[in-house]
Amino acid sequence: MSDYRREEMMAVAAARLLPDGCVCFVGIGLPGTACNLARLTHAPRLVLIYESGTIGARPSVLPLSIGDGELAETAACVVPLPDIFSDYLQAGRVDVGFLGAAQIDRFGNLNTTVIGPYDKPRVRLPGAGGAPEIAAHARRLFVVMAATPRSFVPALDFCTSAGAEQGGGLQAVITDFGILRPRGGDGELVLAALYPEATAAEARAAVGWPLALAETLEQVPPPTELELRTLRELEARTAAAHSQPVVLALPALESQ
């Protein structure tokens, strides 16, 4: 049995996809964990851009949101939000975009808008944010999400962001069993790599369409001691920092 969790394997596998020195548009959650793990291990010159306008952020703990002060305090610079999209993303200066989603279909299209009919949804989700622009304009797109038949679906309830079929930049979908990649020709996602102890049968059971296998099925190496230690230390620092009470400095009230 392995001495690491599947969630840790996901973060490690995603981090390994990032080369040193690339510019990465990153969000909160597992994509942010993966990018900061890469920065703390094999990619120290990784440039992280967050939607709030921070460029070159080097947080010591994982931020709670894109507006977390940790990002602005550690960034090389902070620019207005519209400039992030017009001058960096849409100008072609972002090498990699990292996204998550509530649903993904067999062609890598993403849904972060609603579950159920749009007019009367069962669940209304946070919405698009900058995801459509990231999917369309980043040179390469990675998606990170745990796989279940409810999230990996034959057809989306709503298409928020275009994937391999339309956007063209999707390179990999990192799941909790392995990695899916678009197939040449039609762009359908196929199983390209498995984690240690994961099986193709497990992968097929977690996906809501008949999952095909790549011609060559790779095996993802397990996390190294350095990767696991760095990831766990990052998560421990984050948990400790976020458990501290927030103290607001208020002006003293004048006595009546």
Nearest to 52 by CA among 79, 87, 90, 22: 79
Residue 174 is assigned to a structural domain of this protein: yes
pLDDT of residue 247: 79
CATH of the domain at 41: 3.40.1080.10
pLDDT of residue 114: 95
Residue 105 is assigned to a structural domain of this protein: yes
For the residues of 116-128, what is the DSSP string, one character each?
A: S-SSS-SEE----
pLDDT of residue 54: 94
Helices and strands in the chain: count of H runs, count of E runs: 7, 14
Residue 250 is assigned to a structural domain of this protein: no
Longest Cα–Cα distance in the chain: 80
Residue 232 is assigned to a structural domain of this protein: yes
Asked about 51 being catalytic, the answer comes back as yes
Q: Per the structure, how many domains does the chain have? A: 1
Please pick, among 7, 8, 51, 235, the residue that the annotation labels catalytic. 51
Are the beta carbons of 140 and 134 closer than 8 angstroms? no
> What are the structure tokens assigned to 107, written together?
């062609």
> What are the structure tokens assigned to 209, written together?
């369409």
Residue environment code for 139-158, b if the CB has 16+ CB neighbours within 10 A, otherwise e: ebbbbbbbbeeebbbeebbb
Residue 95 is assigned to a structural domain of this protein: yes
Beta strands in the chain (DSSP E): 23-25, 47-49, 54-55, 77-78, 96-99, 103-104, 110-111, 114-115, 123-124, 140-144, 170-174, 178-182, 189-194, 213-219
pLDDT of residue 198: 95
Are the beta carbons of 104 and 153 closer than 8 angstroms? yes
Residue 255 is assigned to a structural domain of this protein: no
Strand pairing category for 96-99 and 140-144? parallel
Residue 89 is assigned to a structural domain of this protein: yes
Residue 1 is assigned to a structural domain of this protein: no
pLDDT of residue 245: 85
Domain that holds residue 33: 6-242
Q: What is the pLDDT along the chain (256 residues), one digit of tens a residue?
A: 579 899 999 999 999 999 999 999 998 889 999 999 999 999 999 999 999 999 999 999 999 888 888 899 999 999 998 999 999 999 999 999 999 899 999 999 999 999 999 999 999 998 888 889 999 999 999 999 999 999 999 999 999 988 755 545 899 999 999 999 999 878 899 999 999 999 999 999 999 999 999 999 999 999 999 999 999 999 999 999 989 887 777 777 666 5
pLDDT of residue 167: 46
| Predicted model pTM | 0.90
